[in-house]
Structure 1
Amino acid sequence: MASLGVLDLFNVKGRVAVVTGGSSGLGLMICKGLVTNGARVYVVALPTDPITETVDALNELGKESGGHAEGYSCDLSSKHSISELAEAISQKEKTVDMLISNAGIRRDPPSACNVLTAPLTELQASMWSIEESDWVNTFKVNTTAHYYLSIAFLSLLAAAADQQLSNGTKGRDEGRGVIVVTSSCASMHNVTNVDLTSYATSKAATDHLVKLLAAKYNRFYVRVIGINPGFVPSNMNPVGAEGNIFSSLFDKVPAKRAGNSEDIAGTILYLVSKAGSYVDGVSLCVDGGRILLANGQE
């Protein structure tokens, strides 16, 4: 008989997770949610990020649930570095239940302007000021890295999905073997007060990549799902910080607030657990309704 209890449906205890961009912002929220609920999390971040401090804090958080964290540094703009990361983790794990491909960057034009009100010449100068290298680097991290990470970890994810469990089911029936890619609601609307063109375009490409990868991996039932967060506190969106470029837009979100760790962690727990095991190849917008008011309007 199927169990509809919350503890069964959303259980991730003992599962293995790899989370990129895990030392801050959305990634840290996701790591906290997983570790708090008993998962083993490999926290991946840049060498310059506070990986050790993050892992120590996560392990303190996971004492009661048995959750555990371990840190790895990786330059996700490098195919070689991604390969080395997967090889290192494969030396420790025979399966990876979830890859949370979350890391991302945003490169705004050096000459900023209010896109909604700037005169033509000011808008033109602002848009022209962004360097070609900023476009290239944005796509390397925000789009291409998801592609190479999914390939590098595919065998470990497929093994998790195909794993025979003690209750007679397979891992895929419990939600194991899933890739969750962080996109943005910026890929889904066309209005903001700053020029996010390179960022939003890379995220729109990511949304389509989710579908392409899900189709490619369907034979192994390695699920690929996107999440499109809205205004959530992060290094790219310092909610509450003085001079925040988005501050005038917060009250236009129907939810009348920024997103928080419960919103993000809860979304991930749904998608990677038994509760979300029948979800594949789609992108879930978690934006408090922002895109409802951001298509052709301020």
Structure 2
Amino acid sequence: MYTAKRLFDLRGKTALVTGGSRGLGLQIAEALGDQGAKLLLAARKRDELEAATARLRARGIEADWIVADAARDEDIARLADDALSRLGYVDILINNAGATWGAPAEDYPLHAWDKVMNLNVRGLFLLTQSIGKRSMIPRRQGRIVNVASIAGLAGNAPGTMETIAYNTSKGAVVNFTRTLAAEWGEHGITVNALAPGFFPTKMTEGSLARLRVEYMCSRVPLRRLGDEEDLKGAALLFASDAGKHITGQVLAVDGGLSAVV
């Protein structure tokens, strides 16, 4: 019988975190590492990966990194190969890498649409497919956590953001999560998604500067944005034995915003 504390214990587990060098990905990596998971971070920029890994190691977390662009097929193939070579297997896959682009729908550049879709949807699928087929299905176990967004649950309020590709891509992630959960459940694999609201990150800094933090907070029932700890508990639930009977779910971590819009 597990104690409640033991349910969240990740000692002996391995985790691959894309977009893990900063922001929400690094926050999730910290949570998994604090519970004992061995981490491998992937992102595009070596210097940010080195800094993130040093930060994790300073917390006593076993962590390493791989430079990879999750929007490029060849990088995804190499990432999967390297991850399995270094870790042996992947228990937990955190699909966090993502991009956005703002422009009116009628003038939205095709290259911007492709950039967002290739990273947020195609890359997520290819990496999940590879890790699932090569590591999780053969071992009949695995935890997949996709980082979606409340932008994938609805449109944008008029006069706020013009992010049709981002919203569309995150809507795809939501239904990807549900569909894969149904298909891979028989292999002992859970597939869930986090749908963050507004967190101060590099991706959101432009929107927060334009719309003002005070305005954004005024729309949230809890009257605040997400902070550096707010995704940790939800991520641990989905990644650990505490969530072993939870799959196909999308959890909004947004201060209640999605409940009122």
TM-score by length of 1: 0.81
Aligned to 2:98: 104
Structure 2 Cα separation of the partners of residues 260 and 94 of structure 1? 33
Deviation for aligned residue 1:13: 2.0
Structure 2 residue matching 1:198: 3-state secondary structure: helix
Cα distance change, pair 73–240 in 1 and its aligned pair in 2 (3 A): same
Q: How does 1:148-297 map to 2 (within 5 A)?
A: 148-154=126-132, 155-160=134-139, 162=140, 172=141, 177-192=142-157, 193-238=160-205, 243-245=209-211, 247=213, 248-294=215-261
Residues 122-137 of structure 1: matches in 2 within 5 Å?
126-137=104-115
For residues 36 and 87 of structure 1, the distance between their equivalents in structure 2, rounded to whole angstroms, comes to 26
Distance 1:15 1:239, change over 3 A: farther
The Cα offsets for residues 176-230 of structure 1, whole Å up to 9 and x where unpaired, read as x111000000111223311121110111011111122222322312211111110
Change in CA separation of 1:48 and 1:188 when aligned onto 2, cut-off 3 Å: same
For 1:99-142, what per-residue CA distance to the aligned partner results, in whole angstroms no more than 9, with x for missing partners?
A: 00001101011xxxxxxxxxxxxxxxx43332111111111111
Q: Which runs of 5+ in 1 are unaligned?
A: 110-125, 163-171
Cα contact 2:8–2:35 (8 A) shared by 1: no
Cα distance change on mapping 1:261 and 1:158 into 2, 3 Å: farther
Contact 1:237–1:244 (8 Å) recurs in 2:
no
Question: Which AA in structure 2 matches 1:254?
Answer: P
Paired letter, 1:245: L
Q: Is the Cα–Cα contact under 8 Å of residues 94 and 159 in structure 1 kept in the other structure?
A: no
Give distance in 2, aligned partners of 1:49 and 1:100: 21
Secondary structure of residue in 2 paired with 1:263: coil
Partner Cα separation in structure 2 for residue 78 and residue 272 of structure 1: 26
Q: Which amino acid aligns with 1:202?
A: S
Q: Say which of 36, 42, 45 aligns to 1:44.
A: 42
Which residue matches 1:119? none
Task: Report how many residues are paired.
Answer: 257
Could you list the per-position Cα deviations for residues 3-47 of structure 1 after superposition, in whole angstroms to 9, with x for gaps in the alignment?
3x3321111123100000001110010111122222111010003
Whether contact under 8 Å (1:232, 1:239) holds in the other structure is no
Bigger shift: residues 244-253 or 226-235: 244-253
- Read off the aligned partner of 1:128 and give its amino acid letter: E
Q: How far 1:240 moved relative to its partner?
A: 11
1:260-281 residue CA offsets vs partner (Å, 9 max, x unmatched): 2322011111111111011111
Structure-2 change in CA distance of 1:43 and 1:285 (3 Å): same
The range that moved more, 255-264 or 21-30, is 255-264
Q: Hey, which bits of structure 1, 4+ residues long, moved more than 6 A?
A: none
Find the aligned partners of 1:48 and 1:88 in 2 and give their Cα distance. 16
1:85 and 2:79 aligned: yes
2:8 match: 10
Match of 2:123 in 1: 145
- TM-score, structure 2 as length reference: 0.92
Unmatched runs of 5 consecutive residues or more in structure 2: none
